[in-house]
Amino acid sequence: MEFQVSGSPIPSVTWEHEGQGEVTMSLRRRVVELSGGSTSLTISNLRYDDEGVYICTAINNLGTVSASCKLTVLGTLHGE
Protein backbone atom coordinates (compact mmCIF):
# COMPACT_ATOMS: atom_id res chain seq x y z
CA MET A 1 0.00 0.00 0.00
CA GLU A 2 1.37 3.39 -0.89
CA PHE A 3 0.27 6.96 -0.22
CA GLN A 4 1.66 10.31 -1.35
CA VAL A 5 2.41 12.61 1.61
CA SER A 6 3.50 16.24 1.44
CA GLY A 7 3.53 19.29 3.67
CA SER A 8 5.62 22.05 5.14
CA PRO A 9 6.90 21.41 7.67
CA ILE A 10 7.38 17.80 6.62
CA PRO A 11 4.73 15.68 8.37
CA SER A 12 5.34 12.63 10.50
CA VAL A 13 3.52 9.56 9.20
CA THR A 14 1.94 6.65 11.04
CA TRP A 15 0.12 3.54 9.79
CA GLU A 16 -2.69 1.91 11.75
CA HIS A 17 -4.50 -1.39 11.28
CA GLU A 18 -8.05 -0.40 12.25
CA GLY A 19 -9.07 -1.95 15.53
CA GLN A 20 -5.54 -3.24 16.19
CA GLY A 21 -3.60 -0.02 16.76
CA GLU A 22 -0.45 1.33 15.17
CA VAL A 23 1.38 -0.98 12.76
CA THR A 24 4.71 -2.01 14.24
CA MET A 25 7.70 -2.99 12.16
CA SER A 26 8.43 -6.71 12.08
CA LEU A 27 9.93 -9.32 9.78
CA ARG A 28 6.62 -9.34 7.86
CA ARG A 29 5.65 -5.65 8.03
CA ARG A 30 7.80 -2.80 6.71
CA VAL A 31 7.04 0.91 6.53
CA VAL A 32 9.23 2.80 4.07
CA GLU A 33 9.40 6.50 3.31
CA LEU A 34 10.14 6.80 -0.40
CA SER A 35 11.63 9.72 -2.32
CA GLY A 36 9.13 12.27 -3.57
CA GLY A 37 7.06 12.18 -0.37
CA SER A 38 5.53 8.71 -0.69
CA THR A 39 5.18 6.29 2.18
CA SER A 40 4.47 2.60 1.80
CA LEU A 41 3.44 -0.31 3.98
CA THR A 42 4.53 -3.73 2.75
CA ILE A 43 3.23 -6.94 4.34
CA SER A 44 4.88 -10.19 3.31
CA ASN A 45 3.52 -13.71 3.87
CA LEU A 46 -0.06 -12.49 4.22
CA ARG A 47 -2.30 -14.08 6.81
CA TYR A 48 -6.04 -13.77 7.29
CA ASP A 49 -5.53 -11.57 10.36
CA ASP A 50 -3.78 -9.02 8.11
CA GLU A 51 -7.14 -8.35 6.46
CA GLY A 52 -8.92 -5.10 7.27
CA VAL A 53 -8.72 -1.34 6.92
CA TYR A 54 -5.31 0.35 7.07
CA ILE A 55 -5.10 4.06 7.85
CA CYS A 56 -2.16 6.28 6.93
CA THR A 57 -2.03 9.51 8.96
CA ALA A 58 0.23 12.52 8.32
CA ILE A 59 0.66 15.07 11.12
CA ASN A 60 2.48 18.38 11.38
CA ASN A 61 1.89 21.53 13.44
CA LEU A 62 -0.59 22.80 10.82
CA GLY A 63 -2.91 19.81 10.97
CA THR A 64 -3.66 16.15 10.44
CA VAL A 65 -4.88 14.26 7.39
CA SER A 66 -5.65 10.57 6.98
CA ALA A 67 -6.31 8.20 4.10
CA SER A 68 -7.41 4.59 4.28
CA CYS A 69 -7.59 1.46 2.19
CA LYS A 70 -9.05 -2.00 2.71
CA LEU A 71 -6.95 -5.13 2.38
CA THR A 72 -8.84 -8.32 1.54
CA VAL A 73 -7.04 -11.65 1.67
CA LEU A 74 -8.45 -14.15 -0.85
CA GLY A 75 -7.72 -17.79 -1.56
CA THR A 76 -5.70 -20.42 0.24
CA LEU A 77 -2.60 -19.19 2.01
CA HIS A 78 0.66 -21.09 2.07
CA GLY A 79 1.01 -23.03 5.31
CA GLU A 80 -2.67 -22.97 6.26
CATH code, domain with 47: 2.60.40.10
- Distance of alpha carbon 34 from alpha carbon 62, whole angstroms: 22
pLDDT tens, 21-69?
Answer: 999 889 999 999 877 788 999 999 888 889 999 999 999 999 999 999 9
pLDDT of the residue at 62: 94
Q: Is residue 43 part of a domain?
A: yes
pLDDT of the residue at 37: 80
Strand residues in 1-80 grouped as ranges (E): 2-4, 12-17, 21-22, 29-33, 38-43, 52-60, 63-71
Q: Is residue 57 part of a domain?
A: yes
pTM above 0.85, yes or no: no
CA distances from 70 to 7, 54, 61 (A): 25, 6, 28
Q: Provide the domain limits for residue 26.
A: 2-71
Number of domains in the chain: 1
